Structure 1
């Protein structure tokens, strides 16, 4: 690859990693938005009490 060539050759590698491993960036964004929504509701007094997860 020369310094003047486009970097589009890297895209198939990224796309194959997403197919193979999942889109971690997208999953993180979704979880962050859900958490932000839940916290907004909790701070306004609208949200139900959080449920604990895990074994007792």
Structure 2
């Protein structure tokens, strides 16, 4: 099989969902990075080994 007949006519379902609902995967990744940074701060990791705050 070579693909659907509407290939190129409409974007893949993921792009539609991102447009409708937002990019949940990217939001989850950002939340995980923020949680990791906060955990490192709270646990007192050595400053040289701490990750940068998200968005920096």
Task: Provide the alpha-carbon RMSD of the alignment.
Answer: 2.3
- TM-score normalised to structure 1 length: 0.58
What 5-or-longer segments of structure 2 have no aligned partner?
46-56
Question: Which consecutive aligned stretches of 4+ in structure 1 deviate over 3 angstroms post-superposition?
Answer: none
- TM-score normalised to structure 2 length: 0.58
Give the greater-gyration-radius structure (CA): 1
| Count, aligned residues | 40
